[in-house]
């Protein structure tokens, strides 16, 4: 095999590449088809190999010539921003485009900070977040991420960012049980704001439905309403990171709409370009926009590729495909079907500790003991085994990132297929998963 010149994330592994894709399948160079149960990493929403994207690019590529976003705009950017605002819960919002979810969250952190500066509250800069949250891999977004395995070696570079416990009822970090807990984990936000000094706190950032660190944990009813009350009480902005759980993934366009709450800033990414172009967005609510308009009028931020016309062109086509095919509406019924077959399949597997999620975002947590929920020892690499056996069977699964049991093991996989998935494909996916878990359980005997 020829030596690779790519600096891969794992230099000891051989990375396969695919020859093509079609709907929910990826096809390797030998023609073998793999069911993409995760849309890569909750990215692909419209399916692989969609010709309309190629046609839109070939027709529009001239008008999508690069222009610098600090000097010029494009009709693609204008159009896409209008479409996103039309489906958002943020009122007369505005959209700042970027290339990926980390950039979108970096933008949200800076937007929140500048919001306070515009209003004369220059002491507000701290961003409170949650353990087991993930917001990106740049230094600021890693600082607000609560994933120790990705933070530890960069710790000297990270900014101070207070963390509260996540609303993870299965392994409640406060040892409580809902509803008797009275939403104690949300109240931690208030205590943390008070301890830090409200005049120093800029924002609270959270994934409405927890994504890759714990795979699809859905907070209980009332959780975000309490978070919103606390933020309002202390003049703290609420940033909903919907990079993974947004853009239709959970059955509503924005996952926060499952609660009766309006955030101040929403970030989206992944599905926005569906993997056909790097594209993400920071969406500012009317309240945030007004502070800028009544203040300096200028956002001190930007990248070379902010609002890239070619990416926005793709974003428009993805949006139109979603609208034409009713894909946002399709997620809820398909998600209910997925949940029912997953739960049924799980009944015959003693390593499954939890099946959870909403819409086409599901998570399966594996445990050594179903009664005590004791996780497998980390060094066993249980999830890696599941992913490897599944791949041998033609099923691509996304391994949840290690440590859902608060950095002491905790195995889980995420399921987040393209929205075009059919019931027959869900059956095939769950059947392959069933066979995979049977083989892994046999290996453990
Ligand atoms: C919730 C969430 N926020 C932010 C990011 C970072 O996005 P990106 O990898 O596109 O920079 C991710 C990526 O997985 C994510 O899941």
| pLDDT tens digits, one per residue of 349-398 | 999 999 999 999 999 999 999 999 999 998 899 999 999 999 999 999 98
Residue 260 maps to a domain: yes
**Same domain, residue pair 205 and 318:** yes
DSSP conformational letter for 356: E
Q: Is the CB of 282 under 6 A from ligand 1?
A: no
**102, 79, 78: which is closest to 280 by C-alpha?**
102
Of 285, 308, 324, the position where a domain reaches its end is 324
Specify the CATH number for the domain of residue 84.
Answer: 3.40.640.10
**14, 241, 253: which is closest to 146 by C-alpha?**
241
CA of 104 to the centre of ligand 1 (A): 9
CA of 243 to the centre of ligand 1 (A): 6
Contact 327, 420 (CB under 8 A): yes
CA of 146 to the centre of ligand 1 (A): 13
DSSP H stretches of helix in 9-126: 39-42, 51-60, 75-87, 101-118
Structure-token match 């239709």, residue found: 248
CA–chain centroid gap for 51, Å, is 26
Ligand 1 atom at minimum distance from 280 CA: 10
Of 276, 306, 324, the position where a domain reaches its end is 324
Contact 161, 214 (CB under 8 A): no
CA of 134 to the centre of ligand 1 (A): 7
pLDDT at 402: 64
**Same domain, residue pair 229 and 346:** no
Of 296, 324, 352, the position where a domain reaches its end is 324
Residue 181 maps to a domain: yes
Structure-token match 């920071």, residue found: 282
Residue 10 maps to a domain: no
Residues 48, 436: Cα–Cα separation, whole Å:
24
**Same domain, residue pair 339 and 260:** no
Mean pLDDT of the chain: 96
Q: Is the CB of 207 under 6 A from ligand 1?
A: yes
**Same domain, residue pair 383 and 305:** no
Q: Angle 362-217-441 (CA atoms, 0-180°, nearest 5)?
A: 55
Ligand 1 atom at minimum distance from 269 CA: 10
**Same domain, residue pair 35 and 111:** no
CA of 439 to the centre of ligand 1 (A): 32
Q: Which residue range(s) make up the domain with 363?
A: 20-49+326-444
Q: Is the CB of 211 under 6 A from ligand 1?
A: yes
Residue 366 maps to a domain: yes
**Same domain, residue pair 40 and 126:** no
- For the chain, the 3-state helix, strand and coil shares in percent, each to the nearest 5, are 40, 15, 45
**Same domain, residue pair 147 and 166:** yes
Residues of the chain with pLDDT under 70: 1, 401-402
Residue-wise over 227-256: b if at least 16 C-beta within 10 A, else e?
A: bbebbeebebbbbbbbbbbbbbbbbbbbbb
**Same domain, residue pair 313 and 430:** no
Mutate to test the pocket of ligand 1, among 9, 97, 133, 136 (most ligand atoms within 8 A of CB): 136
pTM here?
0.98
Q: In what order do the strands lie in the sheet with 265-268?
A: 94-98, 280-284, 265-268, 237-241, 201-206, 126-130, 163-164
CA of 59 to the centre of ligand 1 (A): 31
**Same domain, residue pair 190 and 246:** yes
CA of 269 to the centre of ligand 1 (A): 7
Residues 310, 77: Cα–Cα separation, whole Å:
9
pLDDT at 247: 98
In the chain, how many domains are there? 2
Residue 1 maps to a domain: no
Tell me the torsion sign for CA atoms 423, 428, 432, 437. positive
Residue 14 maps to a domain: no
Residue 256 main-chain phi, psi, to 5 deg: -65, -20
**Same domain, residue pair 338 and 369:** yes
Residue 2 maps to a domain: no
Nearest-CA residue for ligand 1 atom 16 is 244
CA of 31 to the centre of ligand 1 (A): 31
**Same domain, residue pair 280 and 364:** no
Residue 215 maps to a domain: yes
Tell how strand 237-241 and strand 265-268 pair up.
parallel
Q: Is the CB of 243 under 6 A from ligand 1?
A: yes
Structure-token match 């109240």, residue found: 187
Ligand 1 atom at minimum distance from 212 CA: 16
**Same domain, residue pair 289 and 339:** no
CA–chain centroid gap for 141, Å, is 13
Specify the CATH number for the domain of residue 408.
Answer: 3.90.1150.10
């Amino acid at each position: 095999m020829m030596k690779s010149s790519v600096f891969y994330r794992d230099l000891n592994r051989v990375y396969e590449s695919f020859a093509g894709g079609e709907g929910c399948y990826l096809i390797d160079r030998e023609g073998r088809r793999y069911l993409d149960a995760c849309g890569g990493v909750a990215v692909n929403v419209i399916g692989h190999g969609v010709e309309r994207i190629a046609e839109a690019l070939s027709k529009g590529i001239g008008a999508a010539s690069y222009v610098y976003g600090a000097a010029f705009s494009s009709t693609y950017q204008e159009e896409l921003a209008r479409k996103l605002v039309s489906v958002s819960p943020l009122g007369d919002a505005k959209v700042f485009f970027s290339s990926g979810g980390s950039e979108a969250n970096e933008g949200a952190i800076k937007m929140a900070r500048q919001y306070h500066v515009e209003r004369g509250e220059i002491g507000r800069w701290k961003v409170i977040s949650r353990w087991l949250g993930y917001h990106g891999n740049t230094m600021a977004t890693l600082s607000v991420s609560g994933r120790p395995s990705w933070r530890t070696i960069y710790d000297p570079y990270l900014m101070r960012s207070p963390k509260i416990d996540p609303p993870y009822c299965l392994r409640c970090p406060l040892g409580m049980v809902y509803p008797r807990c009275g939403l104690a984990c949300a109240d931690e936000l208030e205590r943390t704001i008070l301890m830090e000094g409200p005049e120093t706190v800029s924002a609270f950032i959270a994934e409405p439905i927890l994504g890759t660190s714990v795979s699809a944990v859905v907070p209980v009813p009332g959780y975000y309403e309490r978070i919103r009350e606390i933020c309002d009480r202390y003049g703290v902005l609420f940033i909903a990171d919907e990079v993974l759980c947004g853009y239709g993934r959970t059955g509503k366009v924005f996952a926060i709409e499952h609660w009766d709450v309006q955030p101040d800033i929403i970030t989206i990414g992944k599905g926005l370009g569906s993997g056909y172009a790097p594209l993400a967005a920071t969406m500012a609510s009317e309240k945030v926009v007004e502070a800028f308009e009544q203040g300096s009028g200028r956002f001190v931020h930007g990248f070379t590729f902010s609002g890239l016309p070619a990416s926005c062109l793709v974003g428009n086509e993805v949006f139109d495909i979603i609208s034409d095919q009713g894909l946002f509406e399709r997620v809820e019924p398909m998600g209910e079907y997925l949940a029912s077959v997953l739960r049924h399949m799980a009944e015959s597997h003693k390593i499954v500790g939890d099946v959870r999620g909403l819409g086409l975002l599901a998570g399966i947590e594996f445990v050594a003991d179903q009664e005590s929920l004791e996780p497998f020892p980390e060094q066993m690499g249980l999830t890696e085994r599941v992913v490897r056996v599944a791949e041998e069977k033609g099923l691509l699964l996304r391994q949840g990132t290690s440590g859902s049991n608060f950095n002491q093991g905790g195995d889980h996989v995420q399921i987040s297929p393209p929205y075009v998935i059919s019931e027959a494909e869900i059956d095939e996916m769950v059947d392959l998963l069933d066979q995979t878990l049977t083989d892994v359980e046999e290996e453990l005997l």
